[in-house]
Amino acid sequence: MTGASRMRIGAVVLTMGNRPEELRALLDSVAKQHGDPIETVVVGNGSPLPELPEGVRTVELPENVGIPAGRNVGIEAFGPGGSDVDVLLFLDDDGLLAREDTAELCREAFAADPELGIISFRIADPDTGETQRRHVPRLRASDPMRSSRVTTFLGGANAVRTHVFEEVGGLPDDFFYAHEETDLAWRALDAGWQIDYRSDMVLFHPTTAPARHAVYHRMVARNRVWLARRNLPALLVPVYLGVWFLLTLARRPSRPALRAWLGGFKEGCVTPCGPRRPMKWATVWRLTRLGRPPVI
């Protein structure tokens, strides 16, 4: 058997239980993947789960613990750090794997590159095939069909080698929502792992706009500050936050949105952010060479 064929893959799906038809379609697309069957865990995040296909494992949480903490529960369902499998897929509950060979492509990619830790899939609208710029995890996002090394990944459409979790830990529970992927990505890159964006690994997902309510703006700002405080060398923390402060003002948000954002920014500055593990300056240079210096 080749290294790729021996690779065990699991899948984690987080759901609020309010998309039963979409969830069933996603699970069917996972079940149709070529190669060895993929063991799947569905985590109900504070809600009961609908009836699911036979063989799908379930975890029902009594309350909504947020996206990163919910996905961490899914990771641990595969043993400490997901160690019962070699790779974990993380898929949005209203997504759909567009091809039946995506799992095989993942196996081949991870087997061919021992330094590859994370793969970010391309998200495309099922009707138009369009990929939104915000779903291409790099600054130069005009060509979503170009695969490349990147510095972050998409939370609901990715594959992670479980050795990454064993080495650097899981997603930051307290973030609840926003920037948790970048936090994990920076820690993985600092440990020497690589991250790839693959345009040929596609998750169909309806085109949507992120919710622009007050909680969204508060969490985006708070977690941006936590991200910097946790991961950047001290010299870069004020630079990174200053750049994002100016960018936010330049985008001219509405008065309520700006008020919520400023409140979140202040909250991020004065509340505990979790363990601080500043990345090495060599990692800063590596991020810069990849096209995204950690000041933007």
- Work out the number of other CB atoms within 10 angstroms of the CB of residue 212: 13
Whether 200 and 218 share a structural domain: no
In a domain, 3, yes or no: no
Find out whether 191 and 231 touch, Cβ atoms under 8 Å. no
Instruction: Give domain status of residue 4, yes or no.
Output: no
**Number of structural domains found in the chain:** 2
Angle in degrees, 0-180, between the axes of helices 237-250 and 214-231, rounded to the nearest 10: 160
Q: pLDDT 10s per residue in the chain (296 long)?
A: 456 768 999 999 999 999 999 999 999 999 999 999 999 999 999 999 999 999 999 999 999 999 999 999 999 999 999 999 999 999 999 999 999 999 999 999 999 999 999 999 999 999 999 999 999 999 889 999 999 999 999 999 999 999 999 999 999 999 999 999 999 999 999 999 999 999 999 999 988 776 568 899 999 999 999 999 999 999 999 999 999 999 999 999 999 999 999 999 999 999 999 999 999 999 999 999 999 999 98
Considering the domain boundaries, does residue 46 fall inside one?
A: yes
- pLDDT confidence of residue 208: 76
CATH number at residue 97: 3.90.550.10
**Domain extent at residue 254:** 214-290
pLDDT given at position 2: 58
Pick the closest to residue 119 from 128, 111, 127 (CA basis): 111
pTM of the predicted model over 0.85: yes
